[in-house]
Amino acid sequence: MNTHEPWTLERLAQLYHLPFNDLLFQAQQVHQQHFKNNDIQVATLLSIKTGRCSEDCKYCSQSGHYKTEIEKQSLLSQETVLEKAKQAKANGADRFCLGGAWRSPPDKDFPHLLAMIKEIKALGLETCLTAGMLSSEQAQALKTAGLDYYNHNLDTSRDYYPEIISTHTYDDRLDTLKKVQQAGMKVCCGGILNLGESVSDRLKLLQELANLQPYPESVPINKLVPIPGTPLANNKSIDPFDFVRTIAVARIIMPRSRIRLSAGRNDMSDELQALCFLAGANSIFYGEALLTTPLPSQHKDRLLLKRLGLNPLNMPLATEPLDA
53 is catalytic: yes
Cβ atoms < 10 Å from Cβ of 108 = 8
Catalytic position from the list 11, 95, 103, 128: 128
Tell me if residue 42 falls in helix, strand or coil.
strand
260 is catalytic: yes
Show Cβ contacts of residue 265 under 8 Å, excluding neighbours closer than 6 positions. 223, 273, 284, 285, 290, 295, 296
The 8-class DSSP code of residue 162 comes to: G
57 is catalytic: yes
Catalytic position from the list 53, 173, 189, 202: 53
Going from the C-alpha of 111 to that of each of 100, 141, 225, the distances in angstroms are 14, 9, 32
95 is catalytic: no
Cα 146 from chain centroid (whole Å):
20
Going from the C-alpha of 104 to that of each of 154, 163, 186, 263, the distances in angstroms are 15, 22, 18, 22
276 is catalytic: no
Alpha-carbon span 145 to 208, nearest angstrom: 29
Alpha-carbon span 121 to 84, nearest angstrom: 13
Catalytic position from the list 245, 260, 265, 302: 260
Going from the C-alpha of 25 to that of each of 251, 269, 278, 288, the distances in angstroms are 11, 21, 8, 33
Q: What is the DSSP string of 266-279?
A: GGS-HHHHHHHHHT
103 is catalytic: no
Torsion of CA 290, 295, 298, 303, to 10 degrees: -130
189 is catalytic: no
Catalytic position from the list 60, 245, 251, 258: 60
Residues facing residue 45 across a β-bridge: 97
Going from the C-alpha of 193 to that of each of 6, 106, 145, 171, the distances in angstroms are 23, 30, 33, 20
Catalytic position from the list 95, 173, 188, 251: 188
Closest CA to 117 of 140, 98, 138: 98
Active site residues: 53, 57, 60, 97, 128, 188, 260
